[in-house]
Amino acid sequence: MNSNKLLKILILAFLLFFPFSSSSTETLIQNQSIKDGQILISKEKNFSIGFFSPANSSYRYLGIWFAKVKEQTLVWVANRNDPFNDSSGVLSINQDGNLVLHDSFNRSLWSTNVSVQGQASTAAQLLDSGNLVLVQENNKKVLWQSFDYPTDTLLPNMSLGLNRRTGLNRLLTSWKSRDDPGTGDCIYKLNLIEAPQFFLYKGLIPYWRTGPWPWRSSTLKSNVKVNYINNGDELSYKYFFDDSAIITRIVVDNSGLLQLFVWNDGEHRWNEFWSAPKYRCDKYGQCGAYSICNSDDIDFECSCLPGYEPKSPRQWYLREGSELGCVRNKSGLSMCGNEEGFVKMERVKAPFSPVTGHMYLSMMSYEACKQACLRNCSCTAFTSLKDGKETNCLHWYGELMDIEMHYDERDPSIYVRVDAADLAKNTMKFGGFLGNKGRLALVVMSIVVPLLPMILLAHLWIRNKKKMRDPTKSSSLNWSKRFKIIIGIARGILYLHYDSRLRIIHRDLKTSNILLDDEMNPKISDFGLARILKEDQIQDKTKRVVGTYGYMSPEYAVFGKFSTKSDVFSFGVILLEIVSGKKNSGSYMEHPSLTLIGHVWELWIEDKALDIVDSSINESYVTHEVLRSIQIGLLCVQEDVRDRPDMLEVLLMLYTDATTIPSPKQPAFIFRTTSNDLKSVAEGPCSINEVTLTNIEAR
């Protein structure tokens, strides 16, 4: 071995075992750098950033570790998949304002890679939370942070999950091994296929899951708190201890464990505070489909849900259930509209439907949730959730996977759909027919049965009388058809605004310009007033305001400004007209001065929005869909153009009940306006009734 090589090895060994610090502040600015052997320390000396090598490796990495923990414990690694094998690493801020890691050959092994506006200088700061941030010095705006790019460790108050603004789904990935911090096979991340929940994967295979939101307590264990966040910016969670002085971390291990550690300063070691999966039933799908797993059952942990039986009785007898699971029993009774019902399963981990998924329905009572599931033949189970003051609903469709007995009062009851025969069987099992309810039923039957002939005759007379009634056209449009029309109109406008080769603003959307074919599919017509915007153009202005009063947005009617949000306003009016069966220009006995928009708004703030629903669809509408539609309509007709959603957001809100919808602000044109009032503020003539004034002009 030559002397130069030996010298390099000795220097590297010295740096590994005797690190020194010539940079002890928490901030790194331009024209400064951190070289191998130097460290940057946070203000309160909670964390350090510098270069390190794992236990039995000579490779060098840039990482962050606990400064107050004697056993060096890494919480973040920059170049985890691009190490270098000498002590030449340098971390600095380059001319573009980015943090960059270079090796001896001046190769960039890692960079923050963000866009810095103008010539503003930047600075890197290590916060006492363990977060490395790159900020713009003139306004302290955070351009990049290590918390958005975690490795295998979650620290207190560090968000894990989806950042809706940036599109980042922050997740944890294990090290490859104890000596290699490279990206491993075990991943802990937010799964958005069903209700939000976190999954631990081994490769591509689900290994453990938390269970869906929102129903679990905000306490994970003892004094560990979990804060779930679901708003317009975030869909994530973070944890913290009551005592912020306690040093903790959550780690994904390469063996497939998710572990919460607490530092024991007296014994100078990490103590495991919580881990998962821990028991037999914690493993995802331990007993297969349509089954329930009970770790306390010493004989066999697996059993089938009510109404189901082992797919392979022989395998079940041999205590092997995970491969095959359970299937519907062979009672021969239909599970759709044949007096089926639900069996209550208490204190269980909610299921997961990997194929067809779930539906989350907000603001729905237990009974409404149950009936909605019964109406859908694909609905296999439901639960009713208490989220603050609201009672919400969760439906499952298709396979029910990974149900586990929890014995925890915080877990809600799950209601599993069974046919009539199994319903009767389980009723006998859980209380017997001659219980209190059974005896009451016998008393009622003894009174009702003698009266059956009279009841039947009365029913026939009422039915025949109803058959003799000029059904109206509006009654032929039940809620299901109306909702389909609303969706179709929204998709058509979305096509004009975004999917068409040219961006088209219709400018005269109204109910009379929506045509229906034989199958009630809506078609947008009359493009006489339509204008085309350039690809990069957001809005335009005209001196001649043309269109139909009652459907025009305020910025267009008053100032002649039109954009995609002008069509959104018109769509909102159409939506409210479809729900109510009334014209926006109609009159109301209680308040003759109110428009339809004003009438709906008044009912909305009084929590009486359903009073506006067309009486001809009273028996057919779905409460949560109607309320959601009214709320979307009010969002579309808000006065400030910036408050209105675009058509993509509208369609997403209509399609999925899982979307969080903001509360609408007071809309425009609440009170009726005369033609003279409108003409006095507009710069040109406009129509004030159903007649459209069309100007032909070159585009």
Which of 482, 497, 640 minimizes the C-alpha distance to 569? 640
For residue 444, give the 3-state DSSP assignment.
Answer: helix
CA distance 473 to 490: 23
DSSP class of residue 364 equals: -
Give 3-state DSSP helix, strand, coil % of the chain, rounded to 5.
Answer: 25, 30, 45
Residue that has been written with the tokens 């821990």 in this structure: 278
Paired with 40 in beta bridges are: 49
pLDDT at 458: 60
Paired with 385 in beta bridges are: 392
pLDDT at 338: 79
| Type of residue numbered 22 | S
CA distance 251 to 243: 20
Q: In terms of C-beta density within 10 A (0-12 exposed, 13-18 middle, 19 or more buried), how is residue 447 classed?
A: exposed
Q: Which CATH architecture has domain 1-145?
A: Orthogonal Prism (2.90)
CA distance 194 to 39: 44
User: H/E element holding 559?
Assistant: helix 554-559
- What's the whole-model pTM score? 0.59
- In total, the chain counts a number of residues equal to 699
- CATH class of segment(s) 476-681: mainly alpha
Which residue ranges does the chain devote to CATH 2.90.10.10?
1-145
Sign for the pseudo-dihedral over CA of 459, 465, 468, 471: negative
- Expressed in angstroms, the distance from the first to the final Cα of the chain is 81
Contact 483, 617 (CB under 8 A): no
Q: Which residues are known catalytic residues?
A: 508
CA distance 434 to 441: 9
CB atoms within 10 A of CB 112: 24
Contact 254, 184 (CB under 8 A): yes
The pair phi, psi for residue 557, each rounded to 5°, is -65, -35
pLDDT averaged per 10 residues in sequence order, the chain, 699 residues? 49 42 65 87 94 92 95 96 90 91 88 83 93 91 95 96 91 96 95 81 92 57 77 88 89 94 91 89 91 83 90 77 78 74 90 76 84 90 79 86 78 88 70 41 49 59 53 69 92 86 88 88 89 78 83 88 92 94 71 78 90 83 88 93 90 72 84 49 42 44
DSSP class of residue 572 equals: H
Contact 572, 554 (CB under 8 A): no
Q: In terms of C-beta density within 10 A (0-12 exposed, 13-18 middle, 19 or more buried), how is residue 49 classed?
A: buried
Which residue ranges does the chain devote to CATH 1.10.510.10?
476-681
